Structures are given as structure tokens and as C-alpha cells.
Amino acid sequence: MFNLIENDIHLGEKADDKQQAITAVAQAFINKGLVEEGYLQGMLAREQQTSTFLGNGIAIPHGTLDTRHLVKQTGVQIFQFPNGVKWSDDNIAYLVIGIAAKSDEHLAILRQLTHLLGDEEIAEKLAKTTNPQDFISLFNGNIVDAAFISLDVDTNSLLTLTAINAAKLQEAAAVDTQFVSEVIASPALPLGNGIWVNDSAVGNSKNAIAVARPKQAFQHNNKQIAAVVTVASVDEKVDNLLVNLLDPQCQQVLLKGNAEQVQAALQGKAVTVAETAAPATQAEPAVAPAAENASAAPQAAPGQLEATFIVKNEHGLHARPSAVLINEVKKYKATIQVRNVDRDTAFVSAKSLMKVVGLGTTKGQRLCFVAEGEDAEQALKGIGEAINAGLGE
């Protein structure tokens, strides 16, 4: 698995032939410290064994088994050749994705390319775009893809809905097996209207959201289950979509719309669905109640700093102020956790929008932050200033 960054991309390149293109890729590997000298020979030898052209104008040159020992760190370098490079027979490569892999990690990378190989339009756009960020967005695929949305699932099991979502994300190489195990074993967060969200702090490879909706809402531990949303996240780009998920109109589409409508609503687009009778089961509150036997507030451990702030927002930490708070927290390298003192909740990651919203914080309630790391003191100061300033409201 890999998370593409701008330094991995080389747009608008030129090469007279395949060997020149592969040489450029190998040099990029060396410049980035991914391989040792000599890996080029392995890449050229691999090409002699069989062409690495995959289709849709995409080639994936990589080394042989004999040159794996020259790989210091697994990675990719992507070269765009808008004018094309003759690769084999009549095949022209416009996108050359060089792979340096220490083991069979290249197979996982190949899985991430499946949406490119199956979509000629995306491959064509990648061959022409001049904007690195647009390239990354196209390359990684949509965060919310219609293929990640499963509707009318014949089940009365929360676990089954979660497993379906996790499998979809794994097939798209957005998560690994560690994510799947974690998300199945961990409790989901109720957002209201029978919509539940789950995620994992480990095993995320790229941003993606999967949705599973049963044929009929059902009860699980006296709570309504009408839809399950599973989130894979590697950076803050997924947060805007999570804010959309908290919008009542988006939730209505999530519960009643078709796959294309659900996809559009999560992307923030205006969607209207036909009104239907409300489900017989009672909708759950927007946040989970505090545990009946909640323990006393834990104390900060040695090396940690702690600060408590009162939320002043008239409507508490709903979507928008929560997003502002998350953006402030993510400025800092420190590990930061937060709990709602007045609801006696457990500590959760202050960098997770879902978990912060799940604290159910209303006006006048206290949030206790615990920070640990080199900029912990600076983080708590910045968080306090943001909260006292009203978090954008």
C-alpha cells in the first residue's frame, strides 16, 4: 500500500523510447533514496522477460527478484508522458508507474491500480492533467464511489453490514487486513436516525467511504440500525465528507436514496429523494449516552499535559464547530485525546471528527484534553484559544 504525494509525480515528461523512460524512473528512485545503484539493470532485465505494459496507456516497470536486495524502501515514482512512449508492439504508454518493492508489496500496489485499468476516461485524464493535486485525486479514485455503496442488503446483522463495507474498502486497496479486523471488533458510533459510523486508527491506505444499508431497519441491542458507514482515512480530506454526513438532508438521502444519490449527497451535492413513511422503529439520539457505570475521570499520565475548556457554542459541538476544532488539533504533532467531563465519557482521539462529534457536547459542558509530544503545550494553548473564540461561530 502507498499514499501518493506530489514528490512522487513527474508531469509533462518526455522520452524518446522505453529505455529512456525506465532510466528516468530508476534515477528518480535513486534521488529519493529508495534504491541503490544497479536497480536500473534489474528493471531493464524485467522488461526483457515480458512487457510491463498493462493497458489503458499504463506501464509498471519494476525490478527482478535478483535485484530486490537493492531496494532500501518500497515506493513508487510516476512519470507522465503526454506525447506517449512506444512500449511494446503497438502499445503506447502515457503513464509509467515505476515500482520498487522489497517483497511482494508490489501486488498490493497493483490492486490500487485496478480502477485505472478499468476506466479509460480516468487514464486519459491522468495522461493530460497538469495539476499534481488533480492527478492525485484522479489516481486515488473517488473517496465515495458508487461501487462502495451496498443497498437493500438482506440482513439483520450490524456485523454483516460492517463486514460488507470493510470488504469493499479492502478490494479497493483503501484498507488492509488489520483495518478489517479492527473495525469488525470495535463498536460503531451512532449518528442518529439509525445511521452508524465506524473506522479504525490502523490499516488505512487512502481516503474512502463505504455504505451498507439493509432492506429494512432493524433493532440491535434496542438500537435502530438503518445504515452503516465505514470510513478509511489518511488525511483531513475526508473530513468535509464526514461533515456532510452529519447534515439532516444528507442523512435522509442516505436512508432513502439510490447509490448515485447517496454518493452525490456525501460529496455535498444537493439531492432530493421522494418522501416515504417514517420507519416504525424509533430513531436513536444523535450521540451515544454516557455509560451507566462510568468510572471517575482518569488523570493525565507522566509526560502528558492536561487542560479543560468550557464549550460556549449555543448549539454545542455540532458539525461545523467540530470541524473547526479538528482542524486546529491537526496542526500539532502531539498525540491529543479528549473527553466530555460532564457526560463522563472515555477519552477519544481529538483528531477524529466522528469521535469528537460522538462526545455529544452541549453548551456549557467541559472538554478535557490530554496532550503528549513535543508541541503539547502549544497545542493545548491553541485549542483553548479556538474554543474560547467560538470555533468559527
Active site residues: 62, 318
H or E segment to which residue 371 belongs = strand 366-372
Q: Are β-strands 9-10 and 53-55 bridged in parallel, bridged antiparallel, or unpaired?
A: unpaired
Closest by Cα among 1, 352, 354 to 172: 1
CB count within 10 Å of CB 100 equals 29
Packing angle between helix 158-171 and helix 177-185, nearest 10 degrees? Answer: 160
C-alpha cell at 362: 452541549
For residues 151, 154, 160, 164, the Cα torsion angle rounded to the nearest 10 degrees is -30
Cβ pair 226, 255 in contact under 8 A: yes
Closest by Cα among 283, 186, 48, 206 to 197: 186
CB count within 10 Å of CB 391 equals 20
DSSP 184-236: HHSPPEEEETTEEEEE-SSSB-S-EEEEEEESS-EEETTEEESEEEEEE-SSG
Q: In angstroms, what CA-CA distances link 297 with 37, 336, 341, 359, 379? A: 56, 16, 7, 15, 21
